[in-house]
């Protein structure tokens, strides 16, 4: 393959880190190159990947597209312009790579394509809205994407006219009739909704495929897995709400639309299931659609079943009936006989394979978490992201009969520079004397003859179990590097341990998780290497709720860290998504005030004694800012030592480099003040 001058070959190892191993630091989180999902070439020879680097002084990140040979020998930079070059996807014929970018002269991000040798860079779209979620047509002539527009905007001119009208309007008040009017950190009140566009890469002409249908993709989190186009290009399958009043009801269904008939209307192909149906993908021959389906309404942690529905109208078939795990990210293999998917399993995310005829999901666990698999078209080879508590996401490839091959090396030197602590996975007896899984992360210099402070790190969700993934926000190795033993309890309700375990806290969000955490703390305090007078608990979202709830029930911890925590489940009526909490809590407040009240930390504020740092973002619509303000004000008025760290430009997470550094500085400073760091002297 001819290399143009555009390419930058990665041949010399980065030499910026000392050979002497040292503990992980906050700066490391922002020096690590962050890798997107890999896209493998049809012939299995190359992988395209988005690589993001951060400049902390500038408080910004840039991303470029790299090509990696699947033998691990060559890494070359494909783009070197624009701040964000994202979501690369290989064309089925292997001749072009599509990605999104905003270049000089672009008012908005657009679709670009480039040849694998770096030549023939071309702007392929002139959309009135920024595209995302790219997919190629089977004939490599069309790129499909997601864009936001008004359902009644017939064309680009109408779209631009509406944008101009809203931009220039003096009146900023909004009248709201919808039950869902904002999501995560985005207001949905401007009337725009996500749709699917088809872009002819030769001419740049585009078409809104859902125009005039009255349907659009889920506005909450539209993504590439919300739609697919049949291999012959004649049919679109997409996810849309069938509920009459989304927000008071939810029922995402799969719809198909014939694309060569201007009078065609969307057809609901999953009308019998009243819970969510998502992730449609056509089989290689176009005769079947695989998708994910849930059976319990309003329960986001319900098992996602892998289903297949055939074009002949037969009833959907489940391929994961014998697997008590939730399927994620399904992909047809090129042979059309098998489907790959991911599933969380006892603390690790594994790749599974199910046969279309019989199901029988099978996996070969590697001990690492593996995600975002992509499969070559003409050979049997896959590329995927592998990670663990110790390993930032790294691209590997695999083919039958071969060992997995690491092909990305962006972070090898920084990883080699770390002195990390030992990790163990164990079980303790929790609520109801049931076995409860728990991770233990030890300090790098751990000596069992000394006594160490303990941090109980409490995960969010509450159904988001902690898998062995590398985290850029709550990284247990970073906390352990400060001289703490870190306990991470996958308490009742956590995902990855079966449906019964995930649903065990429905109707009572507080009791079993709190019991599990306290019993885990009991276990730690029996260990001769734990200083039981120096324990703390920290958590975000549901984890923040739990530390506030613990504050009203025990004074055994010496300090708490509460990030974006729910202070009152009455106050959560201001959240972006409300309906599911009726099932989660057992009732809405007006139906059973006492039941909901008992699960609110606010009810037990009279018992608050423990010093707490409260951290919250202004743009957090999942757990609105008022929760943090109420908790902080309550602690302050009671005379309990507290501090509020407020981020006017962050949402439920803290994602900007300098904000992250401040977050860690304040959190670690708070813990050091109240429980010190390192072993008892």
- Does 313 score more than 90 pLDDT? no
Q: φ, ψ for residue 606 (rounded to 5)?
A: -60, -20
* Chain mean pLDDT for the chain: 95
- Does 8 score more than 90 pLDDT? no
The per-residue pLDDT for range 173-222, each reduced to its tens digit, is: 999 999 999 999 999 999 999 999 999 999 999 999 999 999 999 999 99
Sort 336 into a burial class: Cβ within 10 Å, 0-12 / 13-18 / 19+. middle
Handedness of CA 208, 213, 214, 217 (dihedral sign): negative
Contact 616, 642 (CB under 8 A): no
The per-residue pLDDT for range 406-445, each reduced to its tens digit, is: 999 999 999 999 999 999 999 999 999 999 999 999 999 9
- Give the span between the Cα atoms of 396 and 385, in whole angstroms: 6
- Give the span between the Cα atoms of 90 and 138, in whole angstroms: 11
The per-residue pLDDT for range 525-583, each reduced to its tens digit, is: 999 999 999 999 999 999 999 999 999 999 999 999 999 999 999 999 999 999 999 99
The per-residue pLDDT for range 652-679, each reduced to its tens digit, is: 999 999 999 999 999 999 999 999 999 9
The pTM score is 0.95
In terms of DSSP bridges, do strands 235-241 and 110-114 run parallel, antiparallel, or are they unpaired?
A: unpaired
- Residue-level pLDDT at 546: 98
- Does 461 score more than 70 pLDDT? yes
Kindly indicate the confidence band of residue 15, based on its pLDDT and cuts at 50, 70 and 90. very low
**CB 630: neighbour CB atoms within 10 A?**
17
- Residue-level pLDDT at 673: 98
Q: What percent of the chain has pLDDT over 90?
A: 95
Contacts of residue 388, defined as CB under 8 A and 6 or more positions apart, other chains included, come to: 367, 368, 369, 468, 469, 470
The per-residue pLDDT for range 83-137, each reduced to its tens digit, is: 899 999 999 999 999 999 999 999 999 999 999 999 999 999 999 999 999 999 9
Beta-bridged to residue 351, according to DSSP, are 342
| Average of per-residue pLDDT across 55-79 | 97
- Residue-level pLDDT at 4: 33
Q: What percent of the chain has pLDDT over 70?
A: 97
* Nearest by Cα to 542 from 460, 473, 458: 460
- Does 1 score more than 80 pLDDT? no
- Residue-level pLDDT at 228: 98
- Residue-level pLDDT at 123: 97
The per-residue pLDDT for range 354-371, each reduced to its tens digit, is: 999 999 999 999 999 999
Degrees (nearest 5) of the Cα angle 332, 338, 341? Answer: 60
- Residue-level pLDDT at 311: 78
Contact 136, 91 (CB under 8 A): yes
- Residue-level pLDDT at 18: 55
- Does 13 score more than 90 pLDDT? no
* Nearest by Cα to 432 from 526, 499, 532, 505: 505
- Does 500 score more than 50 pLDDT? yes
Does the N-terminal peptide bond of residue 462 adopt cis geometry, omega within 30 degrees of 0?
yes
Contacts of residue 533, defined as CB under 8 A and 6 or more positions apart, other chains included, come to: 558
**Listed range (299-313, 322-336, 512-526, 626-640) with the worst mean pLDDT:** 299-313
The per-residue pLDDT for range 592-615, each reduced to its tens digit, is: 999 999 999 999 999 999 999 999
* Nearest by Cα to 384 from 399, 371, 402, 375: 371
- Does 637 score more than 80 pLDDT? yes
Kindly indicate the confidence band of residue 81, based on its pLDDT and cuts at 50, 70 and 90. confident
- Does 474 score more than 60 pLDDT? yes
- Residue-level pLDDT at 17: 56
User: What is each CA distance from 651 to 152, 186, 194, 617, 619, in whole angstroms?
Assistant: 30, 10, 21, 5, 4
- Reported residue count of the chain is 681
Kindly indicate the confidence band of residue 20, based on its pLDDT and cuts at 50, 70 and 90. confident
């Amino acid at each position: 393959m001819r290399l143009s001058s555009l390419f930058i070959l990665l041949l010399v190892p980065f030499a910026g880190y000392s050979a002497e191993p040292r503990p992980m630091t906050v700066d490391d989180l922002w020096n690590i190159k962050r890798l997107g999902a890999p896209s493998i070439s049809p012939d299995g020879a190359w992988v395209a990947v988005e690589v993001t680097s951060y400049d902390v002084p500038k408080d910004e990140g840039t991303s470029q597209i790299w090509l990696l040979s699947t033998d691990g020998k060559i890494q070359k930079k494909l783009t070197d312009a624009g701040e964000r070059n994202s979501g690369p996807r290989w064309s089925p014929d292997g001749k072009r790579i599509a990605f999104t970018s905003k270049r000089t002269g672009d008012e908005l991000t657009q679709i670009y394509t480039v040849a694998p040798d770096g030549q023939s860079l071309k702007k392929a779209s002139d959309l009135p809205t920024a595209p995302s979620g790219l997919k190629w047509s089977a004939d490599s002539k069309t790129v499909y994407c997601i864009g936001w527009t008004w359902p009644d905007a017939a064309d680009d001119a109408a779209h631009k006219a509406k944008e101009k009208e809203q931009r220039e309007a003096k009146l900023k008040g909004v009248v709201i009739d919808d039950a869902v009017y904002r999501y995560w950190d985005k207001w949905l009140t401007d009337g725009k909704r996500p749709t699917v566009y088809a872009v002819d890469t030769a001419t740049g002409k585009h078409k809104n495929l859902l125009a005039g249908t009255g349907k659009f993709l889920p506005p909450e989190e539209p993504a590439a897995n919300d739609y697919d186009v049949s291999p012959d290009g004649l049919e679109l399958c997409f996810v849309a709400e069938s509920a009459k009043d989304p927000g008071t009801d939810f029922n995402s269904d799969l719809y198909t639309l014939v694309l060569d008939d201007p009078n065609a209307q969307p057809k609901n192909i999953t009308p019998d299931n009243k819970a969510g149906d998502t992730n449609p993908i056509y089989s290689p021959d176009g005769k079947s659609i695989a998708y994910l389906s849930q059976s319990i309404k309003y329960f986001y942690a319900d098992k996602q079943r892998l289903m297949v529905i055939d074009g002949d109208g037969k009833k959907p078939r489940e391929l994961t009936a014998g697997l008590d795990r939730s399927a994620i990210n399904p992909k047809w293999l090129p042979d059309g006989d098998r489907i790959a998917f991911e599933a969380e399993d006892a603390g690790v995310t594994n790749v599974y394979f199910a046969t279309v005829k019989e199901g029988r999901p099978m996996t070969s666990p590697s001990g690492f978490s593996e995600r975002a698999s992509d499969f070559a078209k003409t050979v049997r080879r896959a590329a995927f992201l592998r990670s663990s508590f110790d390993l930032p996401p790294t691209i590997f490839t695999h083919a039958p009969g071969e060992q997995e091959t690491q092909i990305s090396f962006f972070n090898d030197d920084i990883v080699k520079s770390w002195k990390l602590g030992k990790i163990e996975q164990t079980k303790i007896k929790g609520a109801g004397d049931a076995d409860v899984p728990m991770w233990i992360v030890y300090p790098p210099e751990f000596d069992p003859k000394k006594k160490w402070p303990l941090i109980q790190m409490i995960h969010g969700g509450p159904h988001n179990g902690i898998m062995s993934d590398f985290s850029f926000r709550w990284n247990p190795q970073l906390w352990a590097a400060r001289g703490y033993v870190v306990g991470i309890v996958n308490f009742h309700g956590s995902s990855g341990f079966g449906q019964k375990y995930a649903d065990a806290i429905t109707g009572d969000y507080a009791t079993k998780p709190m019991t599990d955490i306290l019993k885990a703390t009991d276990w730690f305090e029996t260990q001769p290497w734990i200083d039981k007078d120096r324990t703390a608990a920290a958590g975000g979202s549901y984890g923040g709720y739990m530390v506030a709830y613990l504050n009203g029930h025990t004074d055994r911890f010496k300090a708490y860290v509460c990030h974006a925590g729910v202070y009152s489940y009455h106050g959560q009526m201001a959240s972006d998504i409300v309906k599911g909490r009726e099932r989660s809590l057992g009732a809405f407040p007006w139906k059973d005030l006492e039941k909901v009240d008992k699960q609110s930390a606010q009810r037990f504020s009279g018992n608050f004694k423990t010093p707490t740092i409260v951290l919250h973002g202004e743009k957090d619509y999942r757990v609105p800012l008022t929760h943090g303000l109420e908790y902080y004000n309550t602690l302050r008025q009671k005379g309990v030592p507290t501090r509020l760290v407020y981020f006017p430009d962050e949402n439920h997470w803290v994602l900007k480099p300098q904000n992250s550094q401040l977050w860690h500085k304040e959190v670690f400073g708070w813990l050091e003040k109240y429980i010190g760091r390192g072993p008892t002297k």
